[in-house]
Every structure is written in C-alpha cells, then in structure tokens.
Amino acid sequence: MNIAILGDGRLGTEIGALLGARSGIRPLMLGRPSGGQHLAPALEHVDLVFEASIGSAVQANVEVALAAGVRRFVIATTAWSDDRPHVERALVRSGASAVAAPNFSVGVALFFRLVDAAVSLYGPIAAFDPYVLEWHHAAKADRPSGTAREIVRRIVAAHPRKRGVRAPDASDANGSSDPGLVEIAVLRAGAGPGMHLVGFDAPGETLELRLTARDRSAYAAGAVAAADWLLARPRTPGIHPFDEVVDELLAAPALPEATHSTH
Ligand SMILES: NC(=O)c1ccc[n+]([C@@H]2O[C@H](COP(=O)([O-])OP(=O)(O)OC[C@H]3O[C@@H](n4cnc5c(N)ncnc54)[C@H](OP(=O)(O)O)[C@@H]3O)[C@@H](O)[C@H]2O)c1
C-alpha cells in the first residue's frame, strides 16, 4: 500500500506516526514544495493521499495528485471552502473519491449530533440563547475554526430564531448583540490543539457542552479511519462527509482500534 501525506506539519506527522504504529506503513511525506507546486511523478503509484497542508494549497495538491493517477483522498486541511467546487469537479471528472472534514475526531462528529439534539430541545424555548466558544493554539491560521463554523451552521439550520452568525470583529465598537445571530468567541493562545464549547444561556441557568482535544491523536485516528473506509470498497466519485464514515463505524459490531487514541 502506497500512501502519501501532503503536509509535514503537526497533523501530517501524527497521521504518519499512526500509520507506522498500526501497520508498519512508511508514507511518503511531502512538505511545502520548493518550486511552489508538487510534481506528478512523485505521486505515481500512490493509492491514497492524506492532504494536511494549508487551505490555499489544497486545490493544486489534489489536482497534481489526480494527474499522477491518485483516486482516493482524505482531506483534513481547513480553510479551502472557496476552492471546494473546483476540487469536487476535478475529483468527479477523474472518478476519484475523497472524504473531507474540518475535524476528523469521531468524538467531534458525535458532538455535532449532540449539538443538533440540544438545539432541538432548547431551541423552542425562547429563554435559552445559544453561543459558541472556541480556543486553539496561537499558530492556528484560520478563525473561527472550521469546526466552529460547522457547529454554527448546524445551530442556524435548526434553530427557530437564529438566521446567521455574528463573527468576532475587533473593529466593531458596537457591543450589543443581535438576537437573530449566534455569537462566536474565538481565542488564539498557547498550544492547545482545540476546544469547542456550545452553550445555551437562560436567565436562571446555563447548559454547556464542551469538547477539548488533549492532542492530535483523535484527528489522526479519524483520518486513518476515513482512509480505511475509502480503501474498503469503491465509493461514489466526489467529496464525502466524515459522517458517512462515522455511520459505518457505529454500525460495526465493535469500533476498530483506529478510532481510539492508541499511542
Ligand atoms: N480535519 C482535522 O481533523 C484537522 C485537525 C488538525 C488540523 N487540521 C488542519 O490541517 C492543516 C494542517 O494542520 P497542522 O496543525 O499540521 O499545520 P502545520 O503544523 O502548520 O503544518 C502544515 C504543513 O504544511 C506545509 N505546507 C505548506 N504548503 C504545502 C504544500 N503545498 N504541500 C505540502 N505541504 C505544505 C507547511 O509548510 P511551511 O511550514 O513551510 O508552511 C507545514 O509544514 C490545517 O489546515 C489545520 O487547520 C485539520
């Protein structure tokens, strides 16, 4: 099995270490290309690519891998939504399949479902106002995180009184909130790999759901589970959500080791 990881940073390294520990696979690790773009010959005979670089590189990286003949992708990189239609078209044209998610933690995928359930319970009660907080390490490039955006997207889709999001804006001197918008607070400090909190506040009480990543192992484990899903049998060309992988994992008699932090 030939695996390549595009992106030799924290996540790419974690995925490579898990593949090595689990099945002795030594993936080809490619970092930022010196000439600005990877060369297709480097990716010939690769069965699956993990994309874990930076958002602005995703489209070019996928296209060069497609040109090299790669037909399976796990796209973990965030902040490439503007390029997503181009990437999806290129994948479909080549008959290639990808799983893409801003967060490959199975715990987070289930957290999304908890948020959906909380919105359906607390949303109809006018006293409870939802809000989102997220905290990541100081070097994180995007804000709010892709995970926070997905949480808010789900709240707005299901909430009876919210029509959008009020993203943080330091230049906004008007501190009052709009009751039709969900507020997100973003914190960038320290080294933490990710904390997301969803709250529902009412005059007399507060409900909070919080998921804190201690390290990147859950992201790597979920990305590897997505690779297993792609390699298990042919999948429809295009981009699949991680939820499809999670549904199959939940239907399995026992969750495979790869979904747990084992190192
Ligand atoms: N889906 C998930 O579960 C999940 C979890 C964690 C992180 N992420 C996302 O995954 C991405 C990587 O995260 P990270 O924490 O590993 O970041 P990181 O430590 O900054 O690593 C990114 C690496 O990619 C390299 N790179 C830049 N351009 C590249 C290119 N064209 N091809 C290959 N590599 C390239 C960078 O090199 P330079 O240092 O030279 O720029 C850097 O070494 C981010 O978008 C992050 O938000 C997703």
Identify residue 135 by its one-letter amino acid code.
W
**Residue 241 pLDDT class (50, 70, 90 cuts):** very high
Is the pLDDT at 260 greater than 60? The verdict is no
Tell me whether residue 162 is one of the annotated catalytic residues.
no
What Rg, from alpha-carbon coordinates, does the chain have? 19
Q: How do residues 10-49 score in pLDDT, each as one tens digit?
A: 999 999 999 999 999 999 999 999 999 999 999 999 999 9
Q: Cβ(216)–Cβ(11) under 8 Å? A: yes
Is the pLDDT at 263 greater than 70? The verdict is no
Running DSSP on this structure, what letter comes out for residue 198?
E
Cβ count within 10 A of residue 2: 15
CA angle 52, 242, 185 (to 5 degrees): 75
pLDDT at 122: 98
Q: Among 260, 218, 258, 240, which residue's Cα sits nearest to residue 101?
A: 240
CA atoms within 13 Å, Cβ hemisphere of 61: 27
- Give, using CA atoms, the residue closest to atom 28 of ligand 1: 32
The strand pairing partners of 212, in sequence order, are 195
pLDDT at 262: 40
The one catalytic residue among 136, 159, 162, 240: 136
Tell me whether residue 140 is one of the annotated catalytic residues.
yes
Ligand 1 center to 78 CA (angstroms): 9
Identify residue 259 by its one-letter amino acid code.
T
The model scores a pTM over 0.75: yes
- Give, using CA atoms, the residue closest to atom 3 of ligand 1: 103
CA distance 260 to 219: 10
pLDDT at 253: 75
- Give, using CA atoms, the residue closest to atom 20 of ligand 1: 9
